[in-house]
Amino acid sequence: MRLHILPRLGRKTIGQITASDVKRLRSGLDGSSQLPNRFQRLGKITAGCGHRTNEAIAVSPVDMDRERQELIIQRQLKWVRGHGWCFALPKGRKIRRTPMSVENELDAQMREHPAVKVTLPYYDRRNKPAERFRPITVELLFSREAKGEIKFINPKRFNEWEWKRALVDAGVIPAPAREKRGEYQAARDDGPVALRHFFATAQIDAGESVVDVAEWMGHANPLVTFRRYVRGRVGAGDRGRAATDILLAGIVTAAKAVWNRKAV
């Protein structure tokens, strides 16, 4: 509501909202469908597993733990000054696991766009200077095609070009006067991170523990997750009310039984 609905419809009364308004809003909320086919599932994995963009771009088939139905988040693409794009541990330098709720989408991606081997330096500042940029090869699930070659996805370019073009197509931001870097309107609240917010909100609303969601998202502290995503919800109190009714009913029944025994 706060990020996507109120900014577009909040100033209108119910009578002023038209069918075209609803269609435009729905299109904007499903921005991943406006992406080129090669990138569409990149948005779905972020919404389904809570990745940061740099982490989602670096997902490999070997990260899929099918037995435990979990996705291992163990690397990201990181820009290091003087060395360019490198593989690195996720933000906070912590490997984590998240529920793999988009397994079918990942399998479909592998069928339609086979994983590509990419060799880049692996940056780890904890190593000795001579060992901080050792090259490794990773099979990446998501890639891009440029001049007939298949390459890794540049996160900055993805955000600035593919994602913002999708926002323009969805009617979320206006088209720029010319397609040039920096010409697109700023869209902080509608960036790929909005899909990560969706993941957290959906998990918490479904009843998952804030502590678990914080772990899946890679937050340093569950308080960060709590402050950002825990809000009052429609129907709040239903489960507590039902539990209290059952508990009190049991107490009343027990009290009556005791009273009846005393009366006898």
pLDDT of 238: 64
Kindly list the domain boundaries of the chain, sorted by start residue. Answer: 24-233
What residues contact 106, with CB distance under 8 A and at least 6 apart? 41, 45, 59, 61, 64, 100, 141
- Closest among 43, 72, 106 to 215, alpha carbons compared: 72
Q: Is the predicted pLDDT of residue 119 greater than 90, yes or no?
A: yes
How far apart are alpha carbons 29 and 251 in whole angstroms? 48
Q: Is the pTM of this model over 0.85?
A: no
- Cα separation, 259 vs 264, whole angstroms: 9
Return the pLDDT at 56. Answer: 94
Cα 196 from Cα 204, distance rounded (Å): 13
Q: How far is CA 77 from CA 112, 144, 153, 160, in A?
A: 23, 14, 9, 16
Is 140 or 246 the better-scoring residue by pLDDT? Answer: 140
Q: Is pLDDT above 50 for 210?
A: yes
Tokens of 227: 């402050």
pLDDT band at residue 219 under the 50/70/90 scheme: very high
Nearest-Å Rg of the Cα atoms of the chain is 24
Query: Residue 86 and residue 122: Cα distance in Å, rounded?
Result: 6
Domain 24-233 sits in CATH at 1.10.443.10
Q: Are 47 and 217 in contact (CB under 8 A)?
A: no
Please tell me the distance from the alpha carbon of residue 132 to that of residue 255, in angstroms, as a whole number: 71
Mean pLDDT within 177-189? 73
Q: Is residue 8 a contact partner of residue 25, using CB atoms and an 8 Å limit?
A: yes
- pLDDT single digits (tens) 9-68: 556 665 666 666 665 555 554 545 567 777 888 888 888 999 999 999 999 999 999 999
The answer to whether the beta carbons of residues 86 and 57 sit under 8 Å apart is no
How much of the chain, in percent, has pLDDT values that exceed 90?
34
Strand-pairing partners, residue 123, are 88, 133
CA distance 165 to 200: 25
The SS3 call for residue 49 is helix
Short-list 1, 7, 6, 5, CA closest to 25:
5
The CA–CA distances, whole Å, from 207 to 154, 183, 203, 232, 233 equal 35, 42, 7, 13, 11
